[in-house]
Structure 1
């Protein structure tokens, strides 16, 4: 697991390729990340399925409730099949763009 912080955003990258253990580590580290927007970078793991992404939903809901952004980066998945409560994009650049837009919306009171 590789963690990079840039401003109010933390990018957590899966370096092991084992999604279950990665998700456990992220969940255990959650209190130290609470005050930041999160990008979960799974782009190097080609075995991520829709069922795997659904395991991230409770974590995503927790961040949305605390008015922080939670974006998952995954390539090669049917984005239309992803649950509405989960923000999934194909690149880290798009993840940063989404977080920037959500920050503006929160500042405007939406």
Structure 2
């Protein structure tokens, strides 16, 4: 797994493995990441389905319950095809924007 630390978030990416192995690796590393806003870059996966994105639902819920942002990035699946509990955007910049907006909301107590 590749971790890129930015100001208020960590971008997690991986190449040359299956989405299932990527998710397993993320779950193994989660204890080290649970206190950070996370952007999961799925742009490198050529075959991605709504089912693959749904597999991140539990970790997304757990992370948001901890008061942090969890955003998936993929242009292969539409956000209309997944539940609204999952933040899914097509670009890394939009993911950064979501994290920033959610940070502001948390600061304001919204």
CA contact (8 A) 2:43 2:75 kept: yes
1:86 is aligned to 86
Which residues in structure 2 correspond to 1:12-91 (within 5 Å)?
12-91=12-91
For 1:40 and 1:76, the matched residues in 2 are separated by 14
How many residues align? The count is: 110
Give 1:35 shift: 0.7
Q: TM-score, normalization: structure 1?
A: 0.96
**Alignment partners' CA distance in 2, 1:57 and 1:85:** 7
Provide the TM-score with structure 2 as the length reference: 0.96
CA contact (8 A) 2:49 2:76 kept: no
Q: Which runs of 5+ in 2 are unaligned?
A: none
- What's the CA shift string for 1:13-35, capped at 9, x where partnerless? 02124111111000000000011
Stretches of 4+ aligned residues off by more than 4 angstroms:
none
* Contact persistence 2:42–2:74 (CA under 8 A): yes
How far the C-alpha of 1:78 sits from its partner, in A, is: 2.3
| 1:39/1:70 contact within 8 Å kept | yes
Runs of 5+ unmatched residues, structure 1: none
Separation (CA, whole Å) in 2 of partners of 1:100 and 1:44: 24
RMSD: 0.9
